[in-house]
Structure formats: C-alpha cells, structure tokens
C-alpha cells in the first residue's frame, strides 16, 4: 500500500539506493573485520600482539622526597593502564614496559607582589620515564614529563600537598599514557 502512495521517481531512486547499499555494507563489514588494530574509547591504539604491560616501581630521586609519592604515582599509573586497556599487568618483562624515577619535586614562589611576598607558590613534579615495546622496538622512548599546580601562599604546603599531588599525578599519568599508546 505504501509503495502505491509514493511517486514513480521516488520508487526508482529507492531501488537504486537499495541496489548498491547492500553490497556496500557487506564490503564495509569485511574491511572492518580484517583490521588488526585494537581501539578503545580512550584513543589507545594497541597492536593485538601486545597482551601485557609491566610498570616498575617509580623511584623518587628528587632532592625533596615525599614518602608516599612513589607508591601513589606507581599505583595510579598501573591502575590507569589496566582500566583503560585490555592489557594484563605483569611484574616484569611485559610486552609494554615502563620504568622511571622522579627527578624533581620543588616548590617555588610565583606571582610576587609589591611587598616582595609571593601571592602564589608552585609545586612542580618531574618524572623521567623509559618506555619499550617488545613487539615494536622502534617505539622505544625516554622522556621527562613535568606538571605543576599553583596554590595560595596563605596555605602551608603540608595542608594542600595531598590534593596537589593527586592533581599532578592525574595529569602526568594521562601524559605518559597518551605518549605510550595513543598514536596521534
């Protein structure tokens, strides 16, 4: 009944669309099935040959040492990789391997006022990371990642340190993840 209500021009264009769209859809399904890269909502592009990741304990070699920083950061990095990918975390010799150390943990005054006091202080954390990929040795890199957060000089560092470390850790972990497995 519906076909009888539509005009002849519409029917012929409908036949033309249906005539080529089914083979097109079949071709697209075959092409996507033959793809061998694994993608996720995070943008990670990981070869299907890569199954494991090992992330060594990130040592704290900075001049100023916060006792909980290494454990907090290492756990956050491990959790991010396992929650954002299908990789299995192994103790050592993973298909992907990350290791490194903190090279700087420093507080510096910024935004100096007229009375030569700082309105803000800046906490900067730098971490040196080595990355290797057993399945593709060309992807080896070694990079220093740095992030900072400013806070009011009205606060003592010990009062805001945990929150600052958490924010900086989140940023550094995302930077490392993006460099390691997001191929932009």
Residue 150 pLDDT more than 90? yes
Query: DSSP assignment, residue 30?
Result: H
Q: How far is CA 28 from CA 19, 25, 34, 123, 146, in A?
A: 15, 5, 10, 51, 43
Exposed/middle/buried for 104, CB within 10 Å: 0-12, 13-18, 19+?
Answer: middle
- Taking 80 as the threshold, does the pLDDT of residue 70 lie above it? yes
Give 106's strand partners. Answer: 124
Output phi, psi for 30, to 5 deg.
-65, -40
Cα separations (Å) of 58 from 12, 15, 54, 173?
67, 63, 12, 12
Q: What is the pLDDT of residue 118?
A: 75
> pLDDT confidence of 20, banded at 50, 70, 90?
low
Q: What is the mean pLDDT of residues 133-153?
A: 94
H-helix or E-strand spanning residue 158: helix 157-181
Average pLDDT, the chain: 82
DSSP single-letter state for residue 87: P
pLDDT digits (tens, 9 = 90+) for 42-57: 456 788 889 999 999 9
What is the arithmetic mean of pLDDT over 126-150? 96
- Residue among 118, 107, 105 nearest 169 (CA): 105
The pLDDT of 86-113, averaged and rounded, is 92
Q: Which residue has the higher pLDDT, 153 or 10?
A: 153
Q: How far apart are CA 79 and CA 104, in angstroms?
A: 23
Task: Say which DSSP state 43 is in.
Answer: -
What token pair was written down for 10? 């519409």
Q: What angle do CA 128, 88, 137 make, to 5 degrees?
A: 50
Q: What is the pTM of this model?
A: 0.74
């Amino acid at each position: 009944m519906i076909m009888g209500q539509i005009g002849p021009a519409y029917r012929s264009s409908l036949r033309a669309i249906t005539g080529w769209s089914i083979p097109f859809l079949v071709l697209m399904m075959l092409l996507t099935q033959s793809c061998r890269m694994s993608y996720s909502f995070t943008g990670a592009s990981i070869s299907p040959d890569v199954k494991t990741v090992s992330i060594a304990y990130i040592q704290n070699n900075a001049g100023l040492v916060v006792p909980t920083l290494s454990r907090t950061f290492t756990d956050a990095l491990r959790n991010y990789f396992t929650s954002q990918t299908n990789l299995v975390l192994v103790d050592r010799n993973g298909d992907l391997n990350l290791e490194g150390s903190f090279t700087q943990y420093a507080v510096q005054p910024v935004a100096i006022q007229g009375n030569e006091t700082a309105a803000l202080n800046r906490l900067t954390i730098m971490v040196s990371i080595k990355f290797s990929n057993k399945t593709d040795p060309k992807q080896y890199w070694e990079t220093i990642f740095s992030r900072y957060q400013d806070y009011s000089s009205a606060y003592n560092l010990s009062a805001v340190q945990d929150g600052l470390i958490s924010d900086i850790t989140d940023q550094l972990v995302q930077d490392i993840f993006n460099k390691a497995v997001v191929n932009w």
